[in-house]
């Protein structure tokens, strides 16, 4: 079938423009990384070029989801003291200064200040809940069918038969077999008409638009409507188009094909399709209700029409979106005031002449904050914060694996591969690995199949049954795996693993794609030392990555290291320490003015955030003088882990005594809280935070401005780790305010799809974001949805220059996705950066409240 083209436009030009329009429509959604390498992203990442207020307004229309907490939720925060009247008044003054400054309103015998009226409306006025779009049963049924075909297309391991012609793209593969889909009979009439559709996806789209009379100016909006019918699969398609690595295994779902399948179904069932997705709201009735309620509260007698008009004029200047935006601002400034009041206190700088027993560099992850605090209390330890890939962006190939996986933030494209090699004879181990891998794959395939689980239960029940009982009743005694390893380890746990090491050099004769040259290793080492701000070195310097160990958890990688691309950070720590211990690298550093003492040894470790256990790697190669120091450190690490686990137990539901075993309980839906509660990203020396319990609410990145006169290190921090943290913050924010739209919903109802993601129930759209159990406990929130606050100790002009010359960062700051406060030194007071530029001295909205109140956690369970 062919389509008609305009005489003035060639077919090739029109085709190119249509493909570009698909890409523009697809950019409305954020990319979704597969669960095997979970990457936190802002669910509104496709709208991030817009200011936050505009983006959330658009998102409410496009996605039909809430973008803020409800008024009732904010009022509950006010009731528990997290937001005060002073916070609300200050937020009103920032949001509507002209309105607040208007003359008082005459109501009956009273003169009511506008700010009092608006505050009363925020606290007591009708809630004005968002009205959802009416359900469209036929359209929803078509969405389910499209989503089911997407799942079938990407998953050939857990379906009874693989979809044919998958290498031809989703649209062509679907067109070849959809004529046999009986589910379409009652929806599109004669499904045999599918064979008459164009074979080419672009031609299918062109036909659909021609039949519907969609002109060129409306095509992007129409395409957006198509792909947003299944936003989860659209997000995965965007990842396939823009982010998937060249060596990604399996088929790719293209945005063009997804749009074409949707257009084909809409073409067959035109009476059930509408390109208009806007939500209808009775704004007039809502404003009248607010006006009447406020009038009744402030007037002793029945208000006159003139008085009602005056009240309505004031309240009418704040829409429903404005009201929750003001509450959000008040909530954020309350948190900001509490935090900055603490950090504004005088600090005692550390004795620069004293050499600590050990220095430990942890990931900036908020889960490291409490652990660091407890460890510092146990001995002469200095802790620092650095992104968990330790500044070495590489692909890591573990022993016995043919696949190398990136261990760095997704904003960075690694150019090098590092392989793990055995120091001992590994033939027996690798043979066992190969056999166990086949057994594991067969077991997993059978478990995930349609009918095979029934046979599997009969044949493997004698083996799996006792293990299941132990995992349920005594998870701490169940078979465990090595930290950061895959579940395959349980099949080979009786085989001794040989000693290994990462090969970081590029020795001649080795694979040209592996290893780093001496110059590259030296540059990476210099970047690590200078970005952290290390000027002196302890005898032991530990680089401690982090990971998690959980059982029966499709979202397990969401608890690993975001800086390592959703993988554990132990490998990155081993690579970085191998570089820093290299004598040739140290000689190169000395030539650059960085002297590392001969008695300093770098040690790699990994923090299991679920069990609060730190594993130190490669202890067998430690020099003799370092053995005793590491032994003493390991004892203190265990104590710090116990204390941190006790702190976490206050917020985790269930038995406090089993907090460290939760990851091994396959029935546990909440092994840990992950990064829930995150609210700030602090860039500065440890001295400004060391004396404070920050309740696990802050990313901590070490930085000393005096050691970075050109601002190179600060620019790296603000344009990479800070941006990644904003993605994390935004994902937790939107997964909390709307778990079923921007989050993954209830994990008790999850079914995995081909290692890519999950669906809620037996079918439906791909569920993106975080499970509800990651941010909620019943009706209680475990996360405060706040925009990320960047706290920087550095000269203001340095911070300003970095923001202005980096477009991506400027977009986040000017658009108020991130708020920035800074001060030059610990002797100065904080200033906050106005969205339009310039700095304003920070003053707490309620000084007494900010100075005396604790840094509240979102959820504490006794």
CA distance 28 to 234: 9
Residue 449 has pLDDT above 60, yes or no: no
pLDDT reported for residue 743: 96
Structure tokens at 332: 């954020």
**Segment (H or E) for 386:** strand 381-386
Residue 797, judged by CB atoms within 10 A of its CB (0-12, 13-18, 19+), counts as exposed
Contact 219, 18 (CB under 8 A): yes
Structure tokens at 434: 């190969």
Task: Say which range, 265-274, 476-485, 711-720, 785-794, has the weakest mean pLDDT.
Answer: 476-485
pLDDT reported for residue 667: 87
Residue 684 has pLDDT above 50, yes or no: yes
Structure tokens at 762: 């037996």
Q: Is 478 helix (H, G, I), strand (E, B) or coil?
A: coil
Structure tokens at 108: 């009956």
Contact 78, 335 (CB under 8 A): no
Tell me the pLDDT tens digit for each residue of 340-399: 999 987 777 666 668 999 999 999 999 999 999 999 999 999 999 999 999 999 999 998
Q: Give the full edge-to-edge strand order of the sheet including 831-833.
A: 698-702, 680-684, 788-793, 818-823, 831-833, 839-841
The band of 854, judged by pLDDT with boundaries at 50, 70 and 90, is: confident
CA distance 618 to 420: 13
Q: Which residues contact 525 (CB under 8 A, 6 or more apart)?
A: 579, 580, 585, 586, 588, 589
CA distances from 396 to 166, 440, 508, 687, 821 (A): 30, 22, 20, 35, 37
Structure tokens at 163: 């979809």
Segment 676-692 shows an average pLDDT of 96
Residue 281 has pLDDT above 60, yes or no: no
The residues facing 112 across adjacent strands are 105
Q: What DSSP designation does 558 have?
A: G
Task: Say which range, 65-69, 278-282, 574-578, 788-792, has the weakest mean pLDDT.
Answer: 278-282
Between 336 and 277, residue with greater pLDDT: 336
The band of 861, judged by pLDDT with boundaries at 50, 70 and 90, is: very low
Task: Say which range, 2-16, 20-34, 365-379, 481-495, has the weakest mean pLDDT.
Answer: 481-495
Cα 793 from chain centroid (whole Å): 25
For 89, other C-beta atoms within 10 Å of its C-beta total 18
Segment 451-469 shows an average pLDDT of 55
Tell me the pLDDT tens digit for each residue of 245-259: 877 777 899 999 999
Structure tokens at 756: 């890519």
What crossing angle do the helices spanning 255-268 and 201-212 adopt, rounded to 10°? 40
Residue 703's closest CA among 815, 635, 630, 802? Answer: 802
CA distance 176 to 261: 12
Q: Give the full edge-to-edge strand order of the sheet including 601-608.
A: 381-386, 358-363, 540-547, 601-608, 613-616
User: Each residue of 244-263: b (16+ CB within 10 Å) or e?
Assistant: beeeeebbbbbbbbbbbbbb
CA distance 153 to 140: 20
DSSP 7-34: TTS-HHHHHHHHHHHHHHHHTTS-----
HEC letters along 659-706: HHHHHHCCCCCCCCCCCCCCCEEEEECHHHCCCCCCCCCEEEEECCHH
Instruction: Give counts: helices (H), strands (E), the chain.
Output: 28, 22
- Please compute, for residue 554, the number of CA atoms within 13 A of its CA located in the half-sphere on the CB side: 26
Residue 299 has pLDDT above 60, yes or no: yes
Structure tokens at 302: 């029945």
For 279, other C-beta atoms within 10 Å of its C-beta total 13
CA distance 60 to 557: 29
Task: Say which range, 153-167, 248-262, 561-575, 599-613, has the weakest mean pLDDT.
Answer: 153-167
Tell me the pLDDT tens digit for each residue of 31-83: 999 988 889 999 999 999 999 999 999 999 999 999 999 999 999 999 999 99
The band of 481, judged by pLDDT with boundaries at 50, 70 and 90, is: very low
Residue 478 has pLDDT above 80, yes or no: no
Between 719 and 657, residue with greater pLDDT: 719
Contact 556, 550 (CB under 8 A): yes
Structure tokens at 849: 């409240």
Which phi-psi region, left, alpha or beta, contains residue 426 (left: φ > 0; alpha: ψ -120 to 50)? alpha
Structure tokens at 398: 């573990």
Tell me the pLDDT tens digit for each residue of 403-445: 889 999 988 889 999 999 988 876 666 666 665 555 555 555 5
Pairing of strands 780-781, 776-777: antiparallel
pLDDT reported for residue 280: 40
Across the chain, mean pLDDT equals 87
Q: Is 234 helix (H, G, I), strand (E, B) or coil?
A: helix
- The position carrying tokens 């009969």 is 458
Residue 175's closest CA among 252, 261, 266, 262? Answer: 261
Residue 314's closest CA among 125, 100, 106? Answer: 100
For 168, other C-beta atoms within 10 Å of its C-beta total 15
- The position carrying tokens 């530029």 is 837
HEC letters along 325-341: HHHHHHHHHHHHHHHHH
């Amino acid at each position: 079938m062919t389509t008609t083209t305009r005489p003035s436009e060639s077919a090739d030009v029109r085709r190119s423009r249509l493909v570009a329009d698909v890409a523009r429509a697809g950019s409305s959604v954020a990319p979704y990384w597969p669960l095997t390498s979970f990457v936190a992203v802002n669910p509104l990442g496709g709208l991030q070029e817009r200011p936050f207020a505009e983006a959330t307004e658009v998102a409410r229309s496009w996605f039909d989801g809430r973008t803020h907490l409800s008024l009732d939720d904010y009022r509950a925060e006010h009731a528990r003291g997290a937001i005060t009247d002073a916070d609300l008044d200050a937020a009103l003054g920032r949001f509507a200064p002209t309105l607040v400054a208007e003359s008082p309103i005459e109501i009956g015998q009273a003169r009511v200040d506008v700010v009092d009226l608006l505050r009363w409306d925020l606290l007591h006025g009708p809630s004005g809940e968002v009205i959802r779009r009416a359900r469209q049963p036929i359209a929803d049924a078509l969405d389910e069918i499209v989503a089911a075909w997407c799942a079938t297309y990407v998953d050939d391991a857990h379906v009874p038969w693989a979809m044919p012609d998958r290498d031809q793209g989703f649209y062509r593969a679907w067109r070849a077999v959809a004529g046999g889909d009986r589910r379409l009979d009652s929806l599109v009439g004669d499904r045999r008409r599918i064979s008459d559709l164009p074979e080419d996806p672009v031609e299918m789209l062109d036909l659909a638009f021609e039949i519907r009379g969609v002109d060129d100016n409306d095509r992007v909006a129409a395409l957006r409507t198509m792909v947003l019918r299944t936003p989860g699969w659209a997000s995965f398609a965007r990842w396939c188009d823009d982010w998937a690595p060249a060596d990604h295994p399996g088929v790719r779902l293209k945005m063009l094909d997804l749009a074409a399948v949707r257009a084909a179904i809409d073409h067959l069932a035109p009476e059930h399709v509408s390109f208009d997705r806007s939500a209808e709201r009775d704004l007039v009735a809502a404003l009248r209700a607010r006006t009447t309620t406020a009038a009744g509260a402030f007037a002793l007698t029945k208000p006159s029409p003139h008085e009602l008009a005056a009240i309505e004029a004031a309240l009418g200047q704040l829409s429903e979106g404005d009201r929750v935006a003001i509450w959000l601002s008040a909530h954020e400034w309350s948190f900001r005031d509490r935090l900055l009041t603490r950090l504004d206190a005088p600090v005692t700088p550390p004795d620069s002449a004293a050499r600590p027993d050990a220095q430990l560099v942890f990931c900036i992850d908020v889960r490291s904050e409490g652990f660091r605090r407890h460890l510092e209390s146990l001995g002469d330890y200095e802790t620092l914060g650095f992104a968990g890939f330790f500044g070495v962006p590489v692909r890591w190939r573990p022993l016995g694996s043919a696949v190398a996986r990136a261990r760095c933030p997704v904003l960075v494209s690694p150019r090098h591969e590092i392989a793990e090699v055995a120091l001992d004879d590994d033939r027996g181990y690798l043979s066992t690995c190969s056999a166990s891998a086949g057994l594991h794959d067969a077991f997993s395939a059978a478990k995930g199949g349609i009918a095979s689980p029934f046979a599997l239960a009969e044949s493997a029940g004698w083996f799996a049954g006792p293990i299941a009982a132990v995992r349920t009743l005594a998870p701490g005694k169940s078979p465990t795996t090595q930290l950061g390893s895959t579940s395959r380890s349980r099949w080979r746990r009786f085989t001794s693993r040989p000693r290994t090491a990462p090969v970081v050099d590029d020795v001649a004769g080795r694979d040209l794609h592996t290893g780093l040259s001496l110059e590259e290793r030296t540059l990476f080492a210099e970047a690590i030392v200078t970005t952290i701000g290390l000027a002196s070195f302890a005898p032991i310097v530990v680089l401690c990555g982090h990971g998690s160990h959980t059982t029966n958890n499709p979202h397990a990688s969401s608890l690993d290291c975001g800086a390592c691309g959703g993988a554990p950070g132990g490998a990155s720590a081993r690579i970085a320490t191998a570089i820093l211990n290299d004598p040739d690298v140290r000689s190169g550093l000395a030539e650059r003015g960085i002297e590392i003492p001969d008695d300093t040894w770098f040690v790699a470790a990994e923090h299991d955030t679920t069990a609060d256990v730190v594993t130190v790697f490669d202890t067998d190669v430690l020099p003799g003088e370092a053995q005793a120091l590491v032994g003493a450190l390991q004892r203190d690490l265990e104590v710090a882990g116990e204390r941190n686990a006790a702190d976490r137990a206050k917020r985790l539901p269930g038995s406090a005594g089993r907090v460290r075993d939760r990851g091994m309980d396959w029935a546990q839906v909440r092994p840990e809280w992950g990064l829930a509660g995150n609210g700030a990203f602090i860039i500065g020396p440890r001295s400004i935070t060391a004396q404070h319990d920050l309740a696990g609410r802050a990313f901590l990145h070490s930085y000393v401005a005096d050691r970075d006169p050109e601002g190179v290190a600060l620019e790296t921090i603000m344009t990479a780790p800070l941006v990644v943290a904003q993605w994390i913050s935004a994902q937790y924010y939107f997964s909390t305010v709307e778990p079923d739209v921007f989050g993954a919903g209830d994990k008790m109802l999850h079914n995995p799809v081909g290692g890519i993601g999950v669906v809620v129930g037996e079918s439906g759209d791909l569920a993106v974001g975080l499970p509800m159990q990651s941010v909620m406990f019943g009706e209680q929130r475990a996360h405060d949805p706040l925009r990320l606050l960047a706290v920087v100790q550095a000269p203001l002009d340095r911070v300003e220059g970095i923001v202005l010359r980096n477009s991506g960062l400027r977009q986040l700051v000017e658009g108020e996705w991130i708020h920035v406060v800074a001060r030059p030194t610990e002797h100065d007071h904080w200033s906050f950066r106005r969205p339009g530029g310039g700095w304003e001295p920070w003053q707490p909205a309620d000084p007494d409240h900010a100075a005396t109140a604790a840094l509240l956690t979102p959820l504490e369970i006794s």
